[in-house]
Amino acid sequence: MSNFIFGRYLPGHSWIHRMSPQSKLLLSFYFVIVIFFANNGYSYGLLSALIVFVILMSGVSIAYFLKGIRPLIWLIVFTVLLQVLFSSGGHVLWHFGPFSITDQSLINGGFIFIRFLLIIMISTVLTLTTTPLAIADGVQTVLKPLKKVKFPVDTLALMLSIALRFVPTLMDEMETILNAQRARGVDFGSGSLKHRVKAAVPLLVPLFTGAINHAENLSTAMEARGFSDSEHRTKYRLYKWQFRDTISWIVFLLVGGLVLVFRKY
């Protein structure tokens, strides 16, 4: 789990760390959409330049981003290969049966590769510079308009923050159960697939009942501390829209506009 970088938070005090989570969430969304509008060297070049700039601004070392790509590398290679081997049009450089490589398909493959990279980079920047708690709060702010159609936004945010808060607790518990069952002779992680699935039962069932116990105790404790519903509450944390958010949005909107202009060429 330790080399699994996605969803991990690195503390820091950079420009991007101090942006409000709701604007970071929306910016990442917006950026992903803009990526799909890019269709030529100029627009991809511009977006790549922006991402490099963002990474430099985040103050996080490049090594972390490379680590973030590693688990996805096979997916990227596979997709790029498909694109290169099966797309048609342009000057044919090489062909064999149904496979063919053209200059056009090579360019397309390159674009797909950059597209993947950009999407992974922007989401890694988001998760590396934002605490899970702030992300939960950001989601709540972003979804606020849905309240008009009676969507339970506050309840969803509370669920999200409790879920995030219990992730390490349940991980620890899983470790304990794993060791306790090993001490009783259960063999995890070897043998046939069927055997392995069967071995997971003595892990999952106690984990499940444990989770229900947690839920019951937590709800009692919450009630005892005056929790009645998730709507009529004030908030301890406030993530205000700041001047730096406005600046970032201006930069991103400018780049988005330029990408639309470059599309024509």
Q: Which residues are near another protein by CB under 8 A?
A: 131-133, 136, 161-162, 164-165, 168-169, 172, 213-214, 217-218, 220-228, 232-238
* Nearest distance, CB of residue 9 and another protein, angstroms: 10
* Nearest distance, CB of residue 162 and another protein, angstroms: 7
Q: Which helix (H) or strand (E) holds 85?
A: helix 73-86
Q: Count other C-beta atoms under 10 Å from residue 20's C-beta.
A: 20
* Nearest distance, CB of residue 154 and another protein, angstroms: 11
Query: Can you tell me the distance from the alpha carbon of 95 to that of 166, in angstroms, rounded to the nearest whole number?
Result: 54
Among residues 94 and 236, whose Cβ is nearest to another protein?
236
The CA–CA distances, whole Å, from 46 to 40, 126, 191, 255 equal 10, 20, 51, 7
Among residues 131 and 181, whose Cβ is nearest to another protein?
131
Among residues 196 and 235, whose Cβ is nearest to another protein?
235
* Nearest distance, CB of residue 239 and another protein, angstroms: 12
Among residues 63 and 224, whose Cβ is nearest to another protein?
224
* Nearest distance, CB of residue 209 and another protein, angstroms: 14
For 226, list phi and psi in degrees, rounded to 5.
90, 15
Query: Can you tell me the distance from the alpha carbon of 119 to that of 222, in angstroms, rounded to the nearest whole number?
Result: 39
Per residue, the 3-state secondary structure of 45-108, as one string, reads: HHHHHHHHHHHHHHCCCHHHHHHHHHHHHHHHHHHHHHHHHHCCCCCEEEEECCEEEEHHHHHH
Among residues 34 and 136, whose Cβ is nearest to another protein?
136
Among residues 100 and 131, whose Cβ is nearest to another protein?
131
Q: Which helix (H) or strand (E) holds 101?
A: strand 99-102
Q: Largest Cα–Cα distance of the chain, in whole Å?
A: 73
The CA–CA distances, whole Å, from 22 to 146, 224, 239 equal 15, 31, 8
* Nearest distance, CB of residue 210 and another protein, angstroms: 10
